Amino acid sequence: MTKIYFVRHGQAATGWGGAADPELAEIGHVQAQKVANEIATHLDGQTAKILTSPLLRCQDTAAPLAAKWGVEVIIEPRVRELPSPMSDLTARTDWLKRVMQGTWNELDNDHQSQGTDFPAWRTGIIQALHDQVSEPAVIIFSHFIAINVAYSEACKTEKVVGFQPDNCSVSIFETDGATLTCIETGRDAKTVVN
């Protein structure tokens, strides 16, 4: 079994309404350092492969742990943020708020989202987790909704938001390469999606 530490990125400098790919806010950098220490404690002197979403806020959050361990961060495009069918930031924010209240089936059938293959995005996330089965532990820095994809798979729920992972919270999953199990959800908080 592979243990996956699925980490939500630190607080971004702005939410979805402010920028498509924001860096971390000052507090996000502090959170990233704290979560690096937390994960190092979990692994008790061991190191692990570090994967991150391509977005800046995730790469910035992964950086302190990578520096602490002296390892390279691997960009894993499959654990990226929920793809948006629109580029207008205000419209995207309104769309995201609505999506977060619904189910995966409703998202798949959303008329505003025509042409976006959400099932393939979700399958990609789950496959990225299962593909780590040769490792004893893997750390993945990703996003609120992406972590909920793993939670939904493990807990067999259709809700887009099964829980609300706080910035830099660590959720722990296990995979045998075919089945995903949720061991522990990270801190649950009502934070902005950023």
What is the domain range of residue 67? 2-184
Query: Could you confirm whether 9 is annotated as catalytic?
Result: yes
In-domain check, residue 193: no
81 assigned to active site: yes
Is pLDDT of 194 > 60?
Answer: no
Catalytic pick among 9, 76, 143, 153: 9
Q: What is the pTM of this model?
A: 0.94
Residue 158, in any domain of the structure: yes
Mean of all residue pLDDT scores within the chain: 93
Least confident of 36-50, 54-68, 100-114, 137-151: 100-114
Please report whether residue 180 resides in a domain. Answer: yes
List the CATH number of the domain containing 16.
Answer: 3.40.50.1240
State the catalytic residue, choosing from 29, 38, 81, 130. 81
**Whole-number Å distance between alpha carbons of 177 and 162:** 23
What contacts 24+ positions apart, CB below 8 Å, involve 33-38?
33/64, 34/168, 35/7, 35/10, 35/61, 35/64, 35/65, 35/168, 35/170, 36/64, 36/65, 36/68, 37/68, 38/170
Residue 36 placed within a domain: yes
Task: Count up the domains in the chain and report the number.
Answer: 1
Classify residue 179: in a domain, yes or no. Answer: yes
Q: Is 117 domain-assigned?
A: yes
